[in-house]
Amino acid sequence: MPDVTSGNATLIERIRGEILGHGPISFARFMEHALYDVENGYYASGRARLGRDGDYLTNVSVGSAFGQLIALQLFEIWGAMGRPTPFAIVEQGAHGGELAFDILEATREKEPSFFSALQYEIIEPFAPLRHRQAAHLAKCCEKVRWHNVIDAMNAFTGVHLSNELFDALPFHLIRSDGPGKWSERCVAADRDSFQLVRQPIVDPDLAARVALLPPRSAGYETEVSLTAPRLFRQIGRKLRAGYLIAIDYGFSAEQFYAEERAAGTMQSRAAHRLLDSPFVSIGESDITAHVEWTSLVGEAETSGFSMVGFTDQHHFLTGVLAAAPEWAANASAKGRRALQTLLHPEMFGRSFQVLALSKGIASSPPLAGFTFAREVFL
């Protein structure tokens, strides 16, 4: 990894000061600074931008089609649950509010009874993003409430929804020192640069997770998230009855920890370019890793969730469309082009996966999005 450090000078000095005062910090702690520092973090400051003029593309970048199709799946869930009122959609990682707007507009226009029952809740601790979301959602502001953290919410009935949330949660970097032996890769300061250094694993939660990993050859590197399991526990405490739908990119544990994936999945990106190091453009670039779905599902099950379905986005949206053929029949030319991007295996269709879990549902009926799901072993 190149020994180069650049980015927001104030943020770099803040990180350097913590390292000089307390010693090397975990990569998860570095990410908390780089992405979520209230004043200068990439996400928290509102610097992150989606779309062709931003840093990366996501499902909402191609237009309103994605939100409209997710709204169809949510409408089916509402009906299967007996049309409860109120019905909460709790979105976490809402970016600029694009997905929320598309869902609310679709339900207002196509399913007014559902729209009437909806209460849209956004978990957003950062003021710049709240302001951006509020401006985007001004047309339907009466339907939206904001919370700093999910623990500030009352228990709810409905759906916890996220699009590219789990890939951006802070994670630890670990390295094999030989079969059954692991160390942590921490961030140290060396003159004007940051560098990764080997440290013993001292966090007991991290040590417990690492102990479950398959033995790997010396030099093998990968990522472990402790934040994602904690988030599942928080959601489980608040979701009285309903579903969790997570849309993200990742692998099963077998794929994630495959011998050939010896450099892990971490990537740093800005202006649609992969950067050589997470220490380049600190506070001005995204840092992510693929989701390890198997452990996520295991943690969810210990928090009271049950597996409903898992598939790639292509098959999920194909199932939604099959249950609502009128959507494609009435789609505009722009909507059909967006659909091609969302479905195409070489674009978003296979890159993203959709996980659905239920909680407090006596008998969970099949969801349209998993009609054509291929058998996947998590």
Query: Where residue 350 sits, what CATH number does that domain have?
Result: 3.40.50.12710
pLDDT of residue 256: 96
Question: Phi first, then psi: what are they for 207, rounded to 5°?
Answer: -60, -40
344 band by pLDDT with thresholds 50, 70 and 90: confident
Bridge partners, 244 (sequence order): 160, 357
Query: What distance in Å separates the CA atoms of residue 91 and residue 148, rounded to the nearest whole number?
Result: 12
- pLDDT tens across 307-334, in order? 999 999 999 999 999 998 888 778 788 8
Query: What distance in Å separates the CA atoms of residue 284 and residue 262, rounded to the nearest whole number?
Result: 27
Q: What is the mean pLDDT of residues 291-301?
A: 94
Query: What distance in Å separates the CA atoms of residue 319 and residue 308, rounded to the nearest whole number?
Result: 14
204 band by pLDDT with thresholds 50, 70 and 90: very high
The number of beta carbons lying within 10 Å of the beta carbon of residue 219 is 11
Look up residue 17 and give its two tokens: 């000061």
Q: Is the pLDDT confidence value at 91 over 90? A: yes
**pTM, rounded to two decimals:** 0.94
Q: Is the pLDDT confidence value at 2 over 60? A: no
pLDDT of residue 309: 95
69 band by pLDDT with thresholds 50, 70 and 90: very high
Q: What is the mean pLDDT of residues 56-83?
A: 91
Give, in order, the Cα–Cα distances in Å from 46 to each of 52, 108, 121, 267, 282.
17, 28, 19, 20, 14
Q: Sort strands 181-190 and 87-92 into parallel, antiparallel or unpaired.
A: unpaired
Q: What is the mean pLDDT of residues 197-217?
A: 96
Most distant CA pair in the chain, distance? 62
Please check whether residue 329 lies inside any domain of the structure: yes
pLDDT of residue 365: 78
Please check whether residue 34 lies inside any domain of the structure: no
Q: Sort strands 306-312 and 267-270 into parallel, antiparallel or unpaired.
A: unpaired
**Structural contact between residues 35 and 42, judged by C-beta atoms closer than 8 angstroms:** yes
Q: What angle do CA 103, 104, 106 make, to 5 degrees?
A: 65
For residues 244 and 341, the model is more confident at 244
The range of the structural domain enclosing residue 350 comes to 59-169+227-249+290-370
pLDDT of residue 349: 80
Q: Is the pLDDT confidence value at 377 over 70? A: no
**329 Cβ neighbours under 8 A, 6+ residues apart:** none
Give, in order, the Cα–Cα distances in Å from 315 to each of 74, 102, 322, 331, 373.
17, 21, 10, 19, 6
Please check whether residue 155 lies inside any domain of the structure: yes
Please check whether residue 27 lies inside any domain of the structure: no
Please check whether residue 217 lies inside any domain of the structure: no
Query: What distance in Å separates the CA atoms of residue 120 and residue 99, rounded to the nearest whole number?
Result: 11
Query: What distance in Å separates the CA atoms of residue 121 and residue 128, rounded to the nearest whole number?
Result: 17
- pLDDT tens across 155-170, in order? 999 999 999 999 999 9
Half-sphere exposure of 74 (CA within 13 A, CB side): 36
How many domains is the chain partitioned into structurally?
A: 1
pLDDT of residue 61: 85
Look up residue 149 and give its two tokens: 């953290």
Q: Is 4 helix (H, G, I), strand (E, B) or coil?
A: coil
**Structural contact between residues 29 and 275, judged by C-beta atoms closer than 8 angstroms:** no
Q: Is the pLDDT confidence value at 10 over 90? A: yes
Which residue shows structure tokens 């967006």? 338
Q: What is the mean pLDDT of residues 292-306?
A: 93
Please check whether residue 204 lies inside any domain of the structure: no
pLDDT of residue 245: 98
Q: What integer best gives the mean pLDDT of the chain?
A: 92
Query: What distance in Å separates the CA atoms of residue 220 and residue 183, rounded to the nearest whole number?
Result: 11
- pLDDT tens across 120-158, in order? 999 999 999 999 999 999 999 899 999 999 999 999 999
Please check whether residue 177 lies inside any domain of the structure: no
Q: Is the pLDDT confidence value at 270 over 60? A: yes
Q: Is the pLDDT confidence value at 358 over 90? A: yes
Please check whether residue 193 lies inside any domain of the structure: no
3 band by pLDDT with thresholds 50, 70 and 90: low
pLDDT of residue 80: 95
pLDDT of residue 12: 96
Q: Is the pLDDT confidence value at 346 over 90? A: no
Q: Which amino acid is at 255?
A: Q
